[in-house]
Amino acid sequence: ARNRYYKWEVKYEFRSPDCFKKLVITINAKTPGPTIQAEEGDTVIVQVNNTLLTENLSIHWHGIRQIGTPWFDGTEGVTQCPILPGDSFVYQFVVDRPGTYLYHAHYGMQREAGLYGLIRVAPRDPEPFTYDFDRSIILNDWYHQSTYEQASGLSSIPFQWVGEPQSLLIHGKGRFNCSNSPSLSTGVCDMSKCSPFIQTVIPGKTYRLRIGSLTALSALSFQIEGHNMTVIEADGHYVEPFVVKNLFIYSGETYSVLVKTDQDPSRNYWITSNVVSRNRTTPPGLAIFNYYPNHPKRSPPTVPPSPPAWDDVEPRLAQSLAIKARQGYIHKPPTTSDRVIVLLNTQNNISEYRRWSVNNVSFTLPHTPYLIALRENVSNAFDPTPPPDGYDFASYDIWSPPPNANATSSNGIYRLRFNTTVDVILQNANTMNTNNSETHPWHLHGHDFWVLGYGKGKFDVKNDTKKYNLENPIMKNTVPVHPFGWTALRFRSDNPGVWAFHCHIESHFYMGMGVVFEEGIERVGKLPSSIMGCGKTKGFHRP
């Protein structure tokens, strides 16, 4: 195993990823940031220099379990104090499993400003499939407002929703039609300032495409015109291969697909991303699948393929159900669990603020990170009352807006007994608007979980648990809960630390859609002083 050193300069720069000029956060002048490449078992060491003029920072390594290093998970308020402007911070962790992962800012709504990228971990053992080339594409949606305008709007009275994104980016490139906004001066919106992402391919080959999504809001359908994709990896786990024409991908997920360049080589093809699950107003993301030696900028002669209906849940549910662990790579889950936590997802009001809640509790981050508070026995750092393990199953109607829209807010957390098996049922419900339920991709830090099942309507403890897939469930770190549906997960509380579990929609987490699990805090090693210095850890020394 080797050490992989990275030195990152993080700063604000003016960029026009979709022709519209705005301030974005770059890493070494790039957004998306550099791809981290390592081999299974390597140690990744990233020295982050916070060169943002006046803004804190923290970076999360999404999908890396941080075994033995819970303090380098990069989750502000949970595992560390923010990195102050002018400071530098060294993250050091082992990438213990091969696969495709992500990284992104985890402070306020900073991720949306452009601080994100991919982590690729090569396996030591041969893989159960072959390909000629390995390429990555990261998907995003893009807003023209700053994260400050957005975050302030979400926490204002009256509430100001962020709205739909202005464009969709494919590997950091998109196209906003400036002529639709004639009030924007050419200095701000300039159609010569952006160009589509181009993936050049050689005819007659097999490509492994690693696709990751870090959208702020959007669920996406990803497609390569005229080409099938064979899904082989999800969140770092091998998938029993299945073929799709379009891949549904939710924020925080990664997939690998195999694509054969077996179409007419005399032309180029469209690569598209489209919003699903919300009534789309954002134009498709467009990139070019360029068959060598055609000119990379030559537009495909056809119109981009049309996307699936935005409100059709069936094909999305079908894809979720199709993702199983690959034969020969199955990790069987424990057959029973020690604790079941049901998390009802609702939209609520708290005084006049619009919030998201889980079992009627809307999550807020404390000023003293939990990991430090618990490991160092700092008192009164957060609400000691844990949130409830369930909701009122019998009477709650998931098909209607909440009868009592008022929720409470808390920074209380779930304390898990170490080395036990925990089931989490994510239960979706109607939002505050009638006949509306959204898709929420939930991401668990510090673990992979088994995906035991998905269903429609209200989870029925007696019958639905019998239908769990205990034979070949996929392990993932991010999973959607579909509109008016439920998703059941199982994991082992075997990674000492404090771990966030939240909706990966940036604004939803900001509005309270998350929980935190503590497990085995007494087994956590000595905390590095570099994570301290905020809240009640002010007296603790920074180096």
Q: Which residues bind ligand C2O (CB under 6 A)?
A: 60, 62, 75, 104, 106, 252, 443, 445, 500, 502, 504
Nearer to ligand C2O, 120 or 504 (CB): 504
Q: What is the rounded CA–CA span in Å between residue 385 and residue 409?
A: 12
Angle in degrees, CA 432, 434, 439, rounded to 5 = 70
CB-based burial label for 332 (10 Å; 0-12, 13-18, 19+): exposed
Nearer to ligand C2O, 104 or 447 (CB): 104
Half-sphere exposure of 64 (CA within 13 A, CB side): 34
Taking CB atoms, the residue at the shortest distance from ligand C2O is 62
How near is the Cβ of 73 to ligand C2O at its closest, in Å? 9
Q: Which does 440 bind (CB under 5 to 8 A by kind): ligand C2O, Cu ion, none?
A: Cu ion
432: phi then psi, degrees, rounded to nearest 5? -75, -15
Q: What is the rounded CA–CA span in Å between residue 332 and residue 325?
A: 10
Stretch of 40-48, 122-130, 157-165, 503-511 lying at the interface with Cu ion (CB under 5 A): 503-511
Q: Which does 482 bind (CB under 5 to 8 A by kind): Cu ion, ligand C2O, none?
A: none
Interface residues for Cu ion in 384-443 (CB under 5 A)? 440
Nearer to ligand C2O, 77 or 455 (CB): 77
The DSSP result for 315-330, as a single string, is HHHHHHHH-BBPTT--
- Residue type at 144 in one-letter notation: H
How near is the Cβ of 74 to ligand C2O at its closest, in Å? 9
Q: Which does 502 bind (CB under 5 to 8 A by kind): Cu ion, ligand C2O, none?
A: ligand C2O
How near is the Cβ of 236 to Cu ion at its closest, in Å? 22
- Tokens matching residue 404: 């009592």
CB 207 within 8 A of CB 132: yes
| Sign of CA pseudo-dihedral 70, 73, 79, 84 | positive
Q: Which does 171 bind (CB under 5 to 8 A by kind): Cu ion, ligand C2O, none?
A: none
Q: Does 508 bind Cu ion (CB under 5 A)?
A: yes
- Residue type at 236 in one-letter notation: G
Nearer to Cu ion, 65 or 440 (CB): 440
158: phi then psi, degrees, rounded to nearest 5? -70, 150
199: phi then psi, degrees, rounded to nearest 5? -105, 105
- Tokens matching residue 323: 């993702």
Residues 436-475, one symbol each (x = binds Cu ion by CB under 5 A, - = not), give ----x-----------------------------------
Q: Which does 508 bind (CB under 5 to 8 A by kind): Cu ion, ligand C2O, none?
A: Cu ion
Nearer to ligand C2O, 178 or 513 (CB): 513
How near is the Cβ of 315 to ligand C2O at its closest, in Å? 25
- Residue type at 140 in one-letter notation: N
Rg of the chain (C-alpha set): 22
Contact set with Cu ion (CB under 5 A) = 440, 503, 505, 508
